[in-house]
């Protein structure tokens, strides 16, 4: 059985709880929703993957490569640089795609620039920043690049095609979740909603292979964090100018 670095694990997990409580309180105040329900929902989402490893008597922090030793092995400058480059490319594609849609396909549409649905665009920017940057990215990495990818990799009869199969499956599911959010949460045309599947699925592939390279969720989380942070800044600037 692997040796637990319990002090670091407890410190790391405690940090998640503190951030979650702060995010839940802020979200509740900003959106006029009971913060307790927000906190409970976020904690459930975060700790299901962690609890599974605890039940298996494994250190979840080490299992997902989120210990400090794994962080030291990550080339943070390179990872952030790639994230910024991806964001710039996506921003260009977004503008071309949505401008083409507005000018050619549907001149009367009012689709917001950027890979964000109407519901997301209309939400409170401050809450959006708190959730997507501090909590949303961690939750998605734990579930998709962590729980789903790691568990599929562990299936014995898939060993010959791993890690590719696991990475592809989690990226498809990642895209599907975002597509369903756009499909049921917005009134956008179906052609636009499909874009919300393609974009996250491609990003999911990049994050999956990056994490596989380091055998850790740190690089994917850093890239995801950077991308969402830049997205929030972009949204804020966009709405202040309009």
Q: Is residue 130 part of a domain?
A: yes
Most confident of 32-46, 52-66, 102-116, 227-241: 52-66
In which domain, by residue range, is 110 found?
A: 74-241
Q: Is residue 66 part of a domain?
A: no
Q: Is residue 37 part of a domain?
A: no
Q: Is residue 16 part of a domain?
A: no
Neighbours of 80 (CB within 10 A): 15
Please, is 182 exposed, middle or buried when counting C-beta atoms within 10 Å of its C-beta (0-12, 13-18, 19+)?
buried
Mean pLDDT of 102-130: 51
Q: Is residue 121 part of a domain?
A: yes
Kindly report, residue by residue over 120-171, the tens digit of the pLDDT: 445 556 666 666 677 888 889 999 999 999 999 888 777 676 778 999 999 9
Neighbours of 173 (CB within 10 A): 17
Into how many domains does the chain fold? Answer: 1
Most confident of 39-53, 117-131, 179-193, 226-240: 39-53
Q: Which range (63-77, 101-115, 208-222) has the least confidence?
A: 101-115
Q: Is residue 59 part of a domain?
A: no
Per-residue pLDDT, 123: 53
Q: Is residue 222 part of a domain?
A: yes
pTM for this one? 0.82
pLDDT at 201 > cutoff 90: yes
Residue 162's alpha-carbon distances to 152, 154, 157, 188, 213, in angstroms, are: 8, 9, 10, 37, 13
Mean pLDDT of 46-55: 87
Per-residue pLDDT, 4: 67
Q: Is residue 139 part of a domain?
A: yes
């Amino acid at each position: 059985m692997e040796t637990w670095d319990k002090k670091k694990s407890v410190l790391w997990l405690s940090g998640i709880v503190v951030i979650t409580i702060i995010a839940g309180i802020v979200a509740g105040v900003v959106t006029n929703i009971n913060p307790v329900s927000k906190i409970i929902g976020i904690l459930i989402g975060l700790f299901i993957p962690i609890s599974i490893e605890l039940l298996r008597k494994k250190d979840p922090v080490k299992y997902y490569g989120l210990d400090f030793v794994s962080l030291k092995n990550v080339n943070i400058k390179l990872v952030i640089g790639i994230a910024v480059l991806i964001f710039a490319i996506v921003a260009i594609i977004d503008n071309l795609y949505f401008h083409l849609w507005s000018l050619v396909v549907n001149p009367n549409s009012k689709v917001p620039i950027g890979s964000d649905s109407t519901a997301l665009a209309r939400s409170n920017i401050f809450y959006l920043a708190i959730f997507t940057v501090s909590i949303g990215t961690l939750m998605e990495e734990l579930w998709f690049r962590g729980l789903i990818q790691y568990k599929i990799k562990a299936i014995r009869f898939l060993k010959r095609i791993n890690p590719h199969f696991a990475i592809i499956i989690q990226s498809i599911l990642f895209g599907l979740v975002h597509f369903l959010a756009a499909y049921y949460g917005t009134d956008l045309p179906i052609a636009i909603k499909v874009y919300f599947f393609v974009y996250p699925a491609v990003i999911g592939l990049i994050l999956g292979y990056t994490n596989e390279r380091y055998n850790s969720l740190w690089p994917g989380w850093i890239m995801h964090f950077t991308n969402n942070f830049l997205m929030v800044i972009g949204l804020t600037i966009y709405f202040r100018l309009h």
